[in-house]
Amino acid sequence: MVNFFIKTYGCQANVADSQAISNYLQNLGCCRVEKEKHADLILINTCAIREKAEQKVFSYIGELAEFKVNKKYLQVGVIGCIASYRKKEILNRFDNVRFVFGAKEDLYKLQSLLHDIILKIETIKSLSSREQNLLIKRKSLTGSQIADDKKILHLGGFKNHTKEVKQSFINIMTGCNNYCSYCIVPFTRGRESSYSLDEILDRVKRDVELGAKDITLLGQNVNSYKDPQSNANFSKLLEKVAQIKGDFWVKFVSPHPKDMTKDVLEIMAQYSDKLCSYIHHPLQSGSNKILQAMNRTYTVEKYLEQIDWIRELLPNATISTDIIIGFPGETEIDYQKTVDVLESVKFDNVYSFIYSPRKYTKAALFKDKCPIDVKLERLKKLQQRQVDICKEQNNRYVGKIIKCLVEKRLTNGKLLARTEGNIRVLISGNDDKINKFVQVKIENAGAVNLIGSIIV
């Protein structure tokens, strides 16, 4: 038996890819292990969205060299977004990496590669140490044999741990056509391509039958989804998913403000028992000047109009966003405009970062005169203010009874649950509540967590 370990960096699309690969390898009879030292095959699924993510990956690859000493047949593969554009560098820099496979490449080719590698690892493991050394010296472990059983699915996979909520991350599309000036995704994942509506629905049905309670539909720009056969749009997909029988929640990430339409919100309101009132709506900047430089193709005014749509059609909606601080050309006035939007909308959660220049993107060529200490100070102030806003927003739940999905047991002994709006809730209870919906009375609230008790 071949043991494998997968290390995943980055977004939920990467999580879905890792799950699909894990499912495929397990269908081949392999065993997924929790520690690198027990693995015969280590896969690193990479993210290139920020420079810091790349640094973490390279550091991690270097750390794996020690495992090769006592297990010379150990195979290390780098896949995902960084692998899409730094393949030669990775192979030249790290002797312990045997193959690199980019996010833009056909997953069925990766399936073929993995199938061949598994067969050869099995062969080598059956030999004596002397025979292993001779074979490793003579042969490469990257062949081209095609697997007959195509069980890698581009849609993603099913996460099923016995003591955690059963989650399903399903890719409805891949790639992006927007070419935001700061974003490397179009270069790592390619042009936008939607998957079949019927295939997506089949995957949701299958995972619900397996016990999934939390379904997340994934795409770089979900609201530009279009079924290749029928041209059905994203709102139609949501409607079809919501009509599937079963007790489960559905979320999606992420929409793009330039493509947000009211029909999506209307469907969410119509099927509120399944479609969670949670929208991650990336702002990036509150300055029209900066949005134009980012090539975001919408204005702050248009964005705020969409927020009004959400508040009107989904009055209890939780809204989160992304904000980039210190984009080239950002002045104190531009930054203050972002703060103004923060104060106006009062997001339930904000993912904020300092701008990170990425190779190949247009913004990497922009002149940036803003000192790093100024950027850090702006980020610090914005995040401090958002902590207060989060607490204010969470206080509105105190005294209310809310439906929650119990996820897992935390190290502090509490159960972690989440509202449909993705807000953390700490409760007491037995493990038999995990992966179940419960009614929780909220007794206290902080910036990060709600605290409550299960109502019997």
CA–CA distance, 202 with 32 (Å, rounded to integer): 25
> Could you say which of 346, 376, 395 is where a domain stops?
395
**Count of beta carbons in the 10 Å neighbourhood of residue 50:** 18
Question: Where residue 450 sits, what CATH number does that domain have?
Answer: 2.40.50.140
For the segment 59-75, what is each residue's pLDDT rounded down to a tens digit?
Answer: 999 999 888 877 878 89
Instruction: Indicate whether 388 and 408 sit together in one domain.
Output: no
Task: Give the pairing of strands 349-354 and 318-325.
Answer: parallel
The answer to the question of residue 146 being in a domain is no
List the structure tokens of 146. Answer: 């095609």
Full residue range of the structural domain in which residue 257 is found = 156-395
Instruction: Indicate whether 170 and 307 sit together in one domain.
Output: yes
For the segment 334-385, what is each residue's pLDDT rounded down to a tens digit?
Answer: 999 999 999 999 999 999 999 988 888 999 999 888 899 999 999 999 999 9
For the segment 32-63, what is each residue's pLDDT rounded down to a tens digit?
Answer: 999 999 999 999 998 877 777 788 899 999 99
Instruction: Indicate whether 237 and 293 sit together in one domain.
Output: yes
CA within 13 Å, CB half, 303: 26
Q: 26-41: b or e for each residue (b if 16 or more CB lie within 10 Å)?
A: eebebeebeebeebbb
Instruction: Indicate whether 175 and 250 sit together in one domain.
Output: yes
Instruction: Indicate whether 223 and 334 sit together in one domain.
Output: yes
Q: Residue 186's pLDDT is what?
A: 85
Instruction: Indicate whether 117 and 88 sit together in one domain.
Output: yes
> How far is residue 227 CA from its own chain's centroid?
22
Q: Which residues pair with 80 in a beta bridge?
A: 46, 102
Given a cut of 90, whether residue 95 has pLDDT beyond it is no
Sheet harboring 318-325: ordered strands across? Answer: 278-280, 318-325, 349-354
Q: Is 212 exposed, middle or buried (0-12, 13-18, 19+ CB in 10 A)?
A: buried
Domain count across the chain = 3
CA–CA distance, 44 with 91 (Å, rounded to integer): 14
Cα torsion through 418, 422, 425, 428, rounded to 10? 10
Given a cut of 60, whether residue 422 has pLDDT beyond it is yes
- Report pTM: 0.81
Q: Bin 360: left if φ > 0, else alpha if -120 < ψ < 50, else beta.
A: left
Instruction: Indicate whether 184 and 78 sit together in one domain.
Output: no
